[in-house]
Chain A
Amino acid sequence: MRGTRLELRQVRRRFGELDVLADISLSVRAGEFVSILGPSGAGKSTIFKLLTGGLRADGGEMLFDGKPLTDETRPFAFMPQRDALMPWRRIVDNTTLGLEVQGVAREAARQRVAPLFAEFGLEGFEQHYPAQLSGGMRQRAALLRTVVQNRAMLLLDEPFGALDALTRSGMQRWLEDMWQHHSWTALLITHDVREAVFLSDRIYVLTGRPARVLREVKVPLPRPRRELASPEASAIEADILETLLNPEEDQRT
């Protein structure tokens, strides 16, 4: 059985008078794709800032492989909402950024990313600048930069939020496909219910601010998943939407 990697227990965080995270408890097992789904402004991104060390929690526990998270142990590769590619670096140098920060030599880093360019649909664009790429390609480059860091777990913060609907659907399918080959462990933040259902093994539905986990939804759909809106997926989607729209009637967690 796959062991639990990340576990949050009753994590809390407030900003002055503003109570953002009231009670967040969740877990992610090895090889599992888990989504955090919640309304905009619910503090989803705050959870990631707590995980990556950008913010401190006011209370609760954050464990990775059973040990508390510290600044020295950074098991996460983080992909921010906007691609955050450096406009002055060529794509290949953008994708090796994390390795460079880890101290990997330039040539060695380039050799590590090179074989992945084809799979990420970026072959032939190694020497291009981000400004020369379309939104979908930039997002794939950002994901390549994330996965090549070889961290235990990926944190994806609304990675497709800035894309147009058609590109987004294509990217979701592509990511689901990549999932089959790589068995990454990932935590995804999104407010797109369909995206969460399509990609996830489990979904944590959050309340509005102050956020707490409203519901945990298992998505037992078989993989590979080809259809964004199969009848089974649509049923789960409708159920979650109902929860999000009428949170008072649904206080089971």
Chain B
Amino acid sequence: MRYFNPRLYFSSGDGNFLNGLTNFGPLLLIFILPFFRGLKNLFINKRELFNYLAFLIVFAIIPAVFTYPFPALSKSIFIIFPIVFVIAYGMDKLNRKILIGFVLLLIINVSVVLYDAVNKEPYRDLEQRMYSYRDLAREVTLHKDSYNKVFITNSYGSDPSPSLLFYMNINPASYHRNETKPLVYRNYINQFDNIIIDQKEKWILDRNYLYIITPDELESNPLFYGIDYKIKSRIVDLSGKEIYLFIEYLPKTNVK
């Protein structure tokens, strides 16, 4: 039933950043007025077309209902088309005064959404948007040749390996390797060149290894308890918060 809630399409959307602006639905809020007018007009004047569009709306929801337990716009995209039909019908024969008022409201609505999209949206869900993977790739490229191995944590965001492969422009020919054992996709893709992502069981302390971890991990990961280290580099997100620390291990004997 949540698919029949107009908020999903006109107001708040489904909140998934992959499906658009997290605070807005796919259609502008202002279009809700012609939508209800269109529904009313269709119901009164064009019952056959109303039935047809109602059928399309219900039919469009069915795959989405079977696909995901929560409303998801990407899975119910077919519903947008009958809704737009109804809106168009609702905008028919508007008198001039209403039309001018509608255009003014439309401009205000557009301005609000644009302002939000430009000024606020980039700061929401920074982690999910993987805002810093490009910077991470740049820094890893700078440092990786100075170390035998580079360990990268998986704690910030999820699976940075595809972004690293892309931004570091890793040559596919050098990436492919012949594995004799059965493959685990995640482990396979999380290891290339001298870089190992996640797979914490392979992490050992060594002077010639570089560890790229989150500030929280520096305190919570037992591997780094009480060790001496040097921070080689840091990566911050849009809000200036530290998200990655590049740690070099300094064995006790080397201190002083």
| A, B co-complexed | no
Q: Which residues of A contact B (CB under 8 A)?
A: none
Q: Which residues of B contact A (CB under 8 A)?
A: none
